[in-house]
Structure 1
Amino acid sequence: MKKTAYFIIGLSLLFSLLHAQDFTYFEKEKNIWLQVYSNQLKAQALDSDIKALERSIKEAGTKKKIELNQLLQLQTSKKKILDELPQSFDTMLEKITVESVKDINLIEYLFTSQKGKFNIQTQRLKILKQEFDDAVAFLTKELATTESQENRDFFKEYQLKKALDFFENASGLLENKEEVLKRTKQSYMSELEAYKQTQLPIHIIKIAILFLIFLLFNLLKYFITKKIDNEDRLFRIKRVLNITFFLLILLMLIIFNISNIVYAATLIGVIAAAITISMKEYLQSMATWFHLSFGNSLKVGDRILIQTNNNQIIGEVINISLFQVTLYESINNTTALDLKRSGRTVFIPNNFFVTNYVYNYTHDRMKTIYDLLEFKIPFTCDTKRVEDLVTEVTLEATEKYMEIALKQFSSLRKRYDMRSREFRPRIHFIPDTKSSCFILYIWYAAPYHQIMELKSQLSQKIVKKLQENEIEFCSN
């Protein structure tokens, strides 16, 4: 029984090899249609071989099964390689296609017209059709030559007749593809002509209107530049004109597309998104301006401190505009110790106030702050006596400001949940980590607009008072 099975397997493999050799005459012409047809026959033959081998492996013994498995792996590898090649006429014709255009617009009409694509695909289809006719002629000639031989190869005749029947049935594919391509082109050309007669003149008029607006605005800016000599005024007028031009163009685009609600809404959405991205800082500044103008956190006349790039800026707010806050830099400790200059005008974008801390010296009615004086005195001094002397001098110099601060703070407590507070001088003795002495900290109430003046007067009085009482200062 096993010998019979092996004999059948051997015959089937021998037949497949002979069968595969018979397919080679389809490739002699080097025609793409014949190559695809040959690939199809080879794939069918390999499928039959693989199925026959799989059945035989189930019935074969251990030793024979190893040989059959090796042969199965070989045939499977051939099949994988063959699968990468085209095996169907449909696959070849799928590449001959042009996507239909639903709506013709100005960009499609001017720049992405598909006339060229139709011409390319028509030429490709013409070449394929010529090769198809050449393949049929080759098969017909090969069949006539085979039939005229004395020793006729009946199997080859059968294969050639089968191939001719297959090509005859497949000729309809070319005719259908040619008809589809022709109808698609006719439909596209009709839509293109309809757009040319109806929509194109309207679009040309719209573009002409936009161009005219652009030209008028530039002429207006040119004449304004010639007439106005003041650079600041000229800059403001140009900025207003640019904003007006942008809004007018936006309005015209909406009006032009108002008939198409969906398109107009999409256009507005796209423009709004583009504006939001490109003018993010300006939009933030406008929103902040609204908050600053109608809120109560900051107003003209307030003294504020802001910190940018590790630099402190202290000044009085002299203007709050749509895009920026203007400060006038004041004389203070920071300008005296670090910058050595003051009195500059500082322009701060409004969006800065969204993500940064702002210290307001004069919020609501509160116009006083705690200021600090520092002295170094030795550990050997009588700190209680020093405290009494410093407190006496400080109270004398700042008593009137303490009463003012208390009244102002009462107003602030009405708006916020705050505990009562005394504005008496605060005296602290803190050991210095770098020298053998105390650092004397003196906190006292001071009006925001007289900080440096009061600091100067109080410093002189304290130094004089301590010297009169033979209190020494640390020199290091």
Structure 2
Amino acid sequence: MRFLLAIFLLFGFVIAEDEFSKNLESIYNLKEKLHKINDELKENITIKNYKNYQEYLKLKNELKDANDSLIKAKKTQREQLESKIKILEDKLNVLKDYETYSIVKYLNLPSEPSEYKKISNIYLVLEGLSERKQLLNENKEYESKLKDFTSLVSKVEQKTKLLQSLYELEPSENLNQELVYSIKELSDYKSTLENITNAYEIFKVKVANSIKLINADIKKQYDSAIKFIAIIICIFIARYLVGLILRKYVDDKDKVYTSFKILNIFTFIIVTMFSLFYFVENISYLVSVLGFASAGLAIAMKDMFMSLLGWVTLQFGGGFHVGDRIKATKNGVTYVGDIIDISLLKMTIYEDVTYTTFLTNRRAGRIIYIPNNYIFTELISNYNYSYMKTVWDGIDIVLDFSSNIEKAKQIILESAQTHTQAFSDSAKKAIQKMRNHYQMKNSGTDPKMFVMLEQYGVKISIWYMANSREALKMRSIVSEEIIKRLKECDDIKLAFPSQTLYLDKRTNQPF
């Protein structure tokens, strides 16, 4: 009997020892898992904020108890309690931001999606696309934060279960306090998770509705834009057809060019105004905006607006036309050429070989741009305005004092008349036509001759009419003719700077 009892006790001891070993192993495993979860949660900002809030509540309760104790305390205990109250107030002051703490607040979740703005015209489509992207990002951000918080709650729940299991195996006061804290924390988190999950469902529906409205507005504007493009294409087709008609039925190239410029400007105005007003519902708002914008631009871009005004003046004032030969001066440099284009902001001239380029610039063939506002501030000469296609040009010949002046005058006059008579007649007809518009004196268009005394001889100046575009060529032809005929005369000599010494005083002097 005693032997059996001994065997039974030994067997029970072995079982108990084995059970104890298993408990130790379970406790170790639980603590390892708990330590791992604590490491994962240690740097979590939500955990830190919640812990600070609990610390704030704890300090607040301690302060309340201390104040209550101070009322009932004896004189000897008051100093110690007052010191404790001061320390508690300082700690609370550090954590004062947690006075209005809520888990949702520190999760920084968007309460409402961005406000939907109606896309009323094509110009707001990009803004609508940006708004749609922002809404999707807000929804994604909300979903991401909700997912992170759900994962946090799951970890806190695991931690709570581990603490419960550990407390059952190894109960202690500290473990009990930690378990109570974890249970309360888990309860608060689960309540918050339920609230924000419901809020997210509402938020997601609002985002979906807003995106649906934005997509509908964008589709409407795209449809409207397709109609707009179709109308614009029709306008340009009409412009092209009108251009074909002009080329077919108008022979004058100048008229064709002018007609095309007017047609292009008219098309530009129609397209611009149609673009501005087609998509805009509130016309008065647009007019107000354009008014303020125009006032600001008029100040900031004064030269450009003056050029636009100059273009209007050029179109309706009739001062210059495409094809006219003009002369303009800038910074002491003179440019002479033909106008090849007049745009909204500038005149474009092609610099030709003229007496000016021959004498001073020694350059030609350049494209010169003249701002239209120059017609208000600078002097610009027009060589062939209206009917007048000729200009006066002159050649000076200096003869020796002993030359036969009368004979030379006749030769020079005949040389000029031979080559320029046609231009004189043309100028006379042009002046007759211009008298219908201008008060013009009849100064004659035939060659004019002037004789002047100079230091080294007698200067004969012959002036004649020449084509405004071929004045240099005509000067060369007339000069060549005069030289050729004067060389044939022995009694006519060209003068040049020289000195003459007369040793016999009785010899007759010139004149």
TM-score interval for Structure 1 and Structure 2 normalised by the shorter chain: 0.3 to 0.5
TM-score normalised by L of structure 1: 0.48
Q: TM-score, structure 2 length as denominator?
A: 0.45
